[in-house]
Amino acid sequence: MYILVNEGIIPKSSFSIDIEDRGYQFGDGIYEMVKVFEGVLFEWEAHLERLFRSARELRIAISMNKEELTKQIQQLIAIENLRDGYIYLQVTRGVAARVHHFPEGATSVLVAYVKEGGEVRKAELTGIHVITTEDIRWQRVDIKSLNLLGNVLAKQKAVEVGAQEAVFVRDGFVTECSSSNIFGIKDGVCYTHPANHFILNGITRQVVIRLLEKVSLELEETPMTLEALYEMDEVFITNTGQEIGPVIDIDGRKIGTGEVGEYSRKLSSEFQRLIDSVVPSKQ
């Protein structure tokens, strides 16, 4: 197995993590996960844009420009002969003696690897169970940082009660989920939290917003109260791994009919159509 480390692709076995890497000690870094279909990166430009935005917000200098990074990632996909799967990419502030402030002279460490398979698409269309939990995270979750403890604890809480996802509620309003964005549909209007510092502006979220028109849904980027969420006709979550995950109950309360909704199905089909439009076998 090969990985990308800064500007070079090397065997994974020849790489080791420095104990003083700030990603390891502080979670001082950023990441992206990008799906690959038939060897083609899906929504790569959007992921790349978000990665560089996260880096700017944290003042981490990425050692390559966007073109160079794209070339390296494509080379890694080719070397690994990846067909369907994903790439994981992270950049930390680098290696330095442990101090909290930005250390002088440290250079960022970029690492990327690929994985075959990943979460199975469509399985989620059978509907998922979710719970709600207080959003205890910091107030810059728009940055895709390695600091994910609030997310980890929330997901664990869900898993412990047999649910698949935890919905964050901040001051009575629904923000997003532990590893996904959330949408609610009521009377032909699709609601989701605006892309501000209280949510990660998911790439899948952005794709779904573009697809709403195709299924005749209006968009309303307004935070939903928890009470409003319970009363939605349909609720679904989005992320790179699952794409669209229809929610059939929240905190044990049925959403709509308690089955996967029509809009969720239609959006999922549109999503598949979009994937088909970029993969070689469908050209």
Ligand X SMILES: Cc1ncc(COP(=O)(O)O)c(C=O)c1O
Question: Judged by CB under 6 A, does residue 130 bind ligand X?
Answer: no
- In the residue annotation, 254 being an active-site residue is answered as no
Question: Judged by CB under 6 A, does residue 132 bind ligand X?
Answer: no
Say how far apart CA 176 and CA 184 lie, in whole Å. 11
Question: Judged by CB under 6 A, does residue 155 bind ligand X?
Answer: no
Supply the minimum distance, in Å, between the C-beta of residue 129 and ligand X.
Answer: 18
Say how far apart CA 179 and CA 185 lie, in whole Å. 20
Q: Cβ closer to ligand X: 95 or 167?
A: 167
- Sign for the pseudo-dihedral over CA of 18, 118, 205, 170: negative
Question: Judged by CB under 6 A, does residue 121 bind ligand X?
Answer: no
Q: Cβ closer to ligand X: 106 or 154?
A: 154
* Burial zone of 277 (CB within 10 Å; 0-12 exposed, 13-18 middle, 19+ buried): exposed
Question: Judged by CB under 6 A, does residue 90 bind ligand X?
Answer: no
158-177: contacts with ligand X (CB under 6 A): 176
Q: Pattern of binders to ligand X over 40-79, x per CB under 6 A?
A: ----------------------------------------
Q: Cβ closer to ligand X: 36 or 96?
A: 36
| C-beta separation of 174 from 182 below 8 A | yes
Say how far apart CA 125 and CA 260 lie, in whole Å. 7
Supply the minimum distance, in Å, between the C-beta of residue 201 and ligand X.
Answer: 8
Task: Tell which one of 151, 164, 192, 268 touches ligand X (CB under 6 A).
Answer: 151
Residue nearest ligand X (C-beta atom) = 202
Residues binding ligand X: number (CB under 6 A): 13
Contact stretch for ligand X (CB under 6 A) within 111-119, 179-187, 250-258, 261-269: 179-187
Q: Cβ closer to ligand X: 179 or 264?
A: 179
**Active-site position among 35, 115, 122, 144:** 144
Q: Cβ closer to ligand X: 70 or 206?
A: 206
187-246: contacts with ligand X (CB under 6 A): 200, 202-205, 238-240
Supply the minimum distance, in Å, between the C-beta of residue 213 and ligand X.
Answer: 19
Torsion of CA 217, 40, 142, 239, to 10 degrees: 50
Q: Cβ closer to ligand X: 92 or 151?
A: 151
Question: Judged by CB under 6 A, does residue 180 bind ligand X?
Answer: yes
Catalytic residues: 144
Can you give the binding site for ligand X, defined by CB under 6 A?
Answer: 151, 176, 179-181, 200, 202-205, 238-240
